Chain A
Amino acid sequence: MQRFLTLTLFATAATAGAQGNLTFVCGAQADWCQVVANAYKKETGGEAKFLRLSAGESLARLRAEKANPGFDVLFGGTGDVHEAGTKEKLLTYYKPKAWNELYPALRKQVKDAYIPLYTGALGFAVNDTVLKKRNLAAPADWPDLGDPRYKGLVAMPNPNTSGTAYTMITTLVQIYGEDGAFDLLKKIHNNVPRNGYTRPGSGAAFLAARGEVAVGVTFMHDAVAQNVRGFPVRAVAPRAGTGTEIGGVSLVTDGPNGAVGKQFIDFVLKPETQKLAETVESFQIQSNSKTPVAAASPKLDKIKLIDYDFAKWGDSATRARIISRWTKEVFPLPRR
């Protein structure tokens, strides 16, 4: 009996060492990671196993596993996670073979902290059905979200778990200054229903799509994805300008399978691999300039973008300070 248990329990097959096999943290949509892993196996024969974790979780996990990392690559997830991870030496910068094919603007913005994987602009997912029933116009700019007319009708992700929400807060800080941004956030807080702070970045778009709220703050590609699925939502870009994220891919420091991680990073940056994203309704703009832009993707040149300072806001101390300020000053506030 004991021997039997021994064999079944302890003989966990170690993937380490096998040719081309690796494990990665999936910071993007799980089905995107799945198609990438499938394509990787098809091309190299190696097994790419992954675990889907949100931005906050992946950072906490990498940190906890620091002494003995279990992953090779962090695939996807907002830039601040990659910035913070690199600063803490949880992640190691690697210059990929396709470096020169990536959009120069993205390369410039992230500097040498991590490798850009995709980009997208922040915006609103607007449900016109809900608005029409209340005779409300769609919000056009950030301050509209704090308008009492939208009480109970606004959803946004929780910055504690979602990189999307952090991008939103820092965008507001960069437009309105820190105190102005927090005043606005407090007004928005008053409009967010009790279940309106969602865990994943795409959660707000999801609530808007289902008509639980009228407006969800989200990356515009997530709004588009809900629209493609058949929900009555559309993506709206805020008039005053909006921030962008640059999702990244990074090598985990001292990952179990060493160089295979680099090989995987080179693989995911190929146009053929990046092209797979739209097949699973991930409509981000891919980082490789040779990857064709999906027809449904929001066109960034039509949107007013702010000059988002990734280096400054990706700093983990700043990140911790901003999120902690929101958690202490805005989140617990009673609603009027």
Chain B
Amino acid sequence: MTATQSRPTATPNSQAAPVKLEGVTKRFGKTTAVQSANLEVEPGTLVTLLGPSGCGKTTILRMIAGLETITEGKLSIDHEDVTQLSAAQRDVTMVFQSYALFPHLSVLENVAYGLRVARRPDAAEEALKLVGLSGYASRAPSQLSGGQQQRVALARALVMKPKVLLFDEPLSNLDAKLRRQMRNEIRAIQQNLGITAVYVTHDQAEALAISDVVVVMSAGRIEQIGTPEDLYRRPANAFVADFIGEANLLRATYDGQQLGFGHVTLPYTQPGAPTGEVRVLVRPESISFSDTGLAGRITSGAYLGAMTEYTIDTEAGDVLIAPPSESTILPNGSDVHLDFRSNGLYILPA
């Protein structure tokens, strides 16, 4: 083994395959965990399933893996119907939340586990090199740190050259700093290899950072599918708006030209938006203090270092804003006026 610490440049994966769910439903007894989900994952993209716990995102992942049977509907991977195939028959591997490293096997043996039949020992060492753990082959998993363990789990999944790589909340056991580092690495490896990946998380920041496409789920249903920016800027409904990032949902009136918040009106057009009484999403960073504009009174303020977070009671509802911190913090009860950037507004669909 020639140990070079530079990572090998991965060749684009010709195996990258699309995944398609058509009306997939999963019921456990009487409870429905997933209700007729439709989803297409483009080859070579990383799609994240995002939602609060119990929303069915892990169930979808496990159905793709073959670890749960599908009650109704059809699942195809690489244009092949795999609904009836068992997990072992599918060309899919998974990185588990608990890592699921075999405690009785060494690091290298863990990674080579799936290769036993194929007899390609070099591949395991390559995979270890890919995740930057070449020196650790003979260690026991328990001798590694959390981040290293997760890398082993990743290498073990990658080494199979799967058509689809699944991640089940892989970073939830790591600390914040390591999490950011690992997610960047996962994204880099995924993009280098051009592999199709489905990623489950409940952390919206992680989802936005890592994904090509994010699927937001709630109570067994898919709420919205879109790019991170889509979701942030143009959420399909209040749930998505609220779940992704900080959101102010304000009452307003809209007549196609003007958007009215109480006594203040702004010129605004949004093709296809409903008119009349509407709800408008305004992200905190699109709001600033000004001399004119929507009047309100500060009900709470919190110093967060780089910025200060205020909650302001206005005619259109409570507004959360987070301007850069200044030397003085405005006291509660201060009367302020708010200005909205018009490209930071979005009228939610009816």
- The reply, when asked whether chain A contacts chain B directly with Cβ atoms under 8 A, is no
